[in-house]
Amino acid sequence: MVSDFEEVRGTKEINDTLFFLERVSVEQSLDKLVRDSEDLEFYLSFVNQSKIDSFQVLEEGSTRYELKYLGSITDVANSSAYHVIRNFKITGIGEMLSPRGKSELAFIDTLTRDILIYNMGFPEYLPRYIEENSLRFDLDSTMVFIYISGGLSPFICLPVIGCHD
């Protein structure tokens, strides 16, 4: 991981690159790669160039999805590109006293249509935008810009909050 840290007007800024390393086993990455057509079709339905950075809300029964299509990002090491969608899913609405939430970050390969979904924990850990071919995260008082290099890894590791799978 390559990091560059600087403070900009009281706000910290970190630029980082996620490298897919050969040391990560092929089995780990293939286990993480989701080829479930339901997941793919669900997330593809929110890929819409006219709705980049717009929240889209979907309610199905007791589940609410708050999605945002961030656009596409290109791998800096090769020509791979990915559609990126953030999703905060709330289950148990109207059924539970305390509904449960799950934050997901989905990457869809624009050519192969393979999808990789990361569980990000809290909604605050999801990226806000794609800015100059990087994912922009606002973590505490730190802006973190993440670039992709060499493909997607089974884990997404971010400065400030650590790794997620």
Any idea what DSSP says for residue 10? T
Closest CA to 158 of 47, 17, 55: 17
Alpha helices in the chain (DSSP H): 26-32, 37-44
pTM recorded for the entire structure: 0.81
> What value does the mean pLDDT of the chain take?
81
Helix (H, G, I), strand (E, B) or coil at 81: strand
Residues whose CB is less than 8 angstroms from the CB of residue 6 and which lie 6 or more positions away in sequence, other chains included: 12, 13
Percent of the chain whose predicted confidence (pLDDT) is above 90: 47
Q: CA-CA distance, 60 to 62, in Å (whole number)? A: 6
CA-based angle 73:78:28, to the nearest 5?
80
Strand-pair partners of 65: 58, 89
Helix (H, G, I), strand (E, B) or coil at 125: helix
pLDDT at 56: 95
Q: Is the pLDDT of residue 9 over 50?
A: no
Closest CA to 88 of 72, 64, 69: 64
pLDDT at 126: 95
Average pLDDT of span 89-100:
84
Average pLDDT of span 116-141:
92
pLDDT tens readout for residues 20-42: 544 344 444 445 555 557 888 99
Select the highest-mean-pLDDT range: 63-77, 111-125, 150-164.
63-77
Average pLDDT of span 69-85:
93
Average pLDDT of span 7-22:
58
Average pLDDT of span 136-156:
86
Q: Which two tokens stand for residue 21?
A: 């390393």
Instruction: Break the chain down into helix, strand, coil percent, rounded to 5.
Output: 15, 55, 35
Task: Tell me the DSSP string of 46-65.
Answer: T--GGGTT-EEEEEETTEEE
Residues whose CB is less than 8 angstroms from the CB of residue 68 and which lie 6 or more positions away in sequence, other chains included: 53, 54, 55, 56, 85, 86, 87
Instruction: Please give the helix or strand (H or E) that residue 90 lies within, else none.
Output: strand 81-91
